Amino acid sequence: MSNRLDGPVKVTGRAKYGADHSFPGMVHGYIVLSTIAHGEIEAMDVTAAKTAPGVLGVYSPFDPLKLHTPDSMFGKTWVPLQNREVTYYGQPIGFVVAETFEQARDAAMLVEVSYRQRPVLTSLEDGLAAAEEAPVSWDGSPAALEVLAPDVESIEDALAASPVVVEATYTTATQNHAAMEPHSAVAVWDSDGLTIYSGNQGADLQAAELAAALGVEASSVRAVNPFVGGAFGGKARTSAPAFLAAAAARDLGRPVKAVLTREQVFTATAGRAATVQKIALGADTDGTLIALRHDSWCSTPVDRSFVERTSHGTSREWYATQNLAISQKIVPLHVPPTTFMRAPGEAPGSFALESAIDELAVALEMDPIELRLRNNSTAPPGKDLQWSSKHLDECFRIGAARFGWANRSPRGRTDGDWLVGMGTATAMFPALRFPATVEITLHADDTAVVATSGADPGTGLLTVLSLVGAESLDIAPERVTPRLGDSALPPGGLSGGSTATASAGSAIVIAAAQVIDDLLALASSPGAPFDGLEVSYADGRVLADGRSMTFGELLRAVNRPSISATGSSGPGEEVTKHSFSSFGAQFCEVRVHRWTREIRVSRMLGVFDAGRIINEKTARSQIMGGMIWGVSAALHEGLEIEENGRLANGDFAGYLIPVNADIPEVDVHFVEYPDTLHNAVGAKGLGEIGTVGMAAAVANAVANATGIRVRKLPIQIEDLLEE
């Protein structure tokens, strides 16, 4: 089990994140935020700010930095200061640049803004009546889907004919990514163009967005982000500090650094949508699902730019059922934007679906694991494409044995003043690949470089590049130097959707095969050491006629410092032959105090079928982080939005996330079956699946311990007070 290559530089503070970069003559920018949730800016008095000490520039919709709206793989990305419309409280509406951060901040406080306010809607529940049908999904799926048995006319008929029916409504809260590294940027212009240092999930994607926004050639923008202090979807798009710092640096002719304060991160970025989900399950008395209806509503910004597809991400695929109906609606609100957040759709969707499955098990007086396995799907309902590889049943069997599930009582148990319960849930997350290109360079000193522009926001991709590169080149990992986080490197695409290992790994295999072919051609070329011979490659050496040379020796012999090749990979014909997913079984034990109703998670176990595990240490770290995030969603996290749109807890004092004392030892086990139908490396995604199902497992454990079913997240003490 290899250590993380970036571990030593991170724990010793030598890793340079975006805001860690400084340059001669650098100045600082501070973003001004709106103090209303909906309306139009009538005026901005910047006189006092402009004359404040150290101020170099004050920008607003009345005196803007010229920026265009870029169009990327995510659609159109909003850029600040281009009009006077305000659609949420805390929206960037101004930018002050001064010699120091403190001068910029203090001057920003002097900007006086007057608004023409308009009616505001900030509550998802209040907006349900005006909900709109969601747009077509990224894969072409409509907002509503229905699969019915041949003799069934409607999902309601199927439910009515079911001997056992459970129906309930579940809600989940708005969340913020709360990454350790706040969104920031350092922008530097020179004769070659712009270099931007800013944490992002795809350097080449960020460079492209900035080039489009600035109206310059893509070749003149370089994005550098070798280290990213957490992202989870929240840094997939270019941030407001990056747009503003880049434009201001061009305008002022000096490097500009812009860093959001922790409070600003909660509004000037984007977070997870709130959801309301209504689920109805119909089953036979033996537990066989007859009907599943899952109707979902989610908050979305007023530009309707993001949909949290809870029903599509779970009920569409998770269980075998004769009749299925799902729908997704959106409720535009005057709240900060929503975006991708770890396991978008699947995380909140699994809370509702897996809670409902648990409620069905109670109604049937059936073991929750037995019910899940009885309805184990071999393919998504209504699809002919079977799962390429699925070992969920083994995950549950191993997990049940390791966790002591046989000792679980349907009504929990007591331990002094503590009520103890156990819960479980299924976890699934799509196994995907994005297009990626990797360059491999063999050097004359017998080392290799594996390079791509993709990002490692703490996922371990840097280590994966080294290991897969070494394996593909048949050399020791210590001889491979991985490089990423720089748009000057071959485009590595997005580090998101749990795709990075499969995407970059597949490209590495192709690049390695190509560079070895090129090396062998060089070795047997006229005048080369193996001129005219049949050559082969093994263990980092070229072999022929009883002789061998390392690739470095060969390169030195032909007076070449290096040899390089690129490999590109993306989704292929495999998507027409199989369905792909990672699978897992989540287990949780909670202790609820009989009198205070304090909830403590006492044990956690996750067993996962995620294909081949490239590096167990980084893989365990990802899963553990996801499981902890699930506990956080279940018991801690939730943004409280006041009626006027202000966040009541938009800081780390009020926005609760777990600390060490909240999390027990986390047990993780992998059921390892390489899935080479998905990609040549055999790895499937695991960055996000650790979050999926864990909140439901916690809620199910709480219900087992107390007999009280809580259908909202986060679960709070008052939810468990007996009337």
Residues 6 or more apart whose CB falls under 8 angstroms from that of 156 comprise none
Question: Any idea which residue has 């607003």 for tokens?
Answer: 60
- Indicate the pairing of strand 256-259 with strand 27-33: parallel
Taking the C-alpha atoms of residue 98 and residue 385, their distance in angstroms, rounded to an integer, is 59
Long-range contacts of 395-399 (CB under 8 A, 24+ apart): 395/583, 395/584, 395/585, 395/607, 395/608, 395/609, 395/671, 396/369, 396/372, 396/424, 396/585, 396/607, 398/585, 398/607, 398/669, 398/671, 399/424, 399/585, 399/587, 399/605, 399/606, 399/607, 399/669
Has 102 been annotated as catalytic? Answer: no
Render 274-316 in DSSP notation, one character per residue: PEEEEEEEEE-TTS-EEEEEEEEEEEEETT------HHHHTTT
* Secondary structure (3-state) at 96: strand
The residues with which 280 forms a beta bridge, in sequence order, are 167, 293
Measured in degrees and rounded to the nearest 5, phi and psi for residue 41 equal -75, 120
Taking the C-alpha atoms of residue 132 and residue 300, their distance in angstroms, rounded to an integer, is 11
Kind plus residue range of the DSSP H or E element containing 346: helix 346-364
Structure tokens that stand for 423 in this block:
């819960």
Q: Measured at the alpha carbon of residue 502, what is the angle toward residues 496 and 504, in degrees to the nearest 5? A: 80
Taking the C-alpha atoms of residue 94 and residue 33, their distance in angstroms, rounded to an integer, is 7
* Secondary structure (3-state) at 594: coil
- Indicate the pairing of strand 536-538 with strand 541-544: antiparallel
* Segments in 406-492 forming alpha helices (H): 461-473
Of residues 99, 688, 718, 723, which has the active-site annotation?
688
**Cis ω before 714 (30° cut-off from 0):** yes
Taking the C-alpha atoms of residue 668 and residue 661, their distance in angstroms, rounded to an integer, is 19
Active site residues: 688
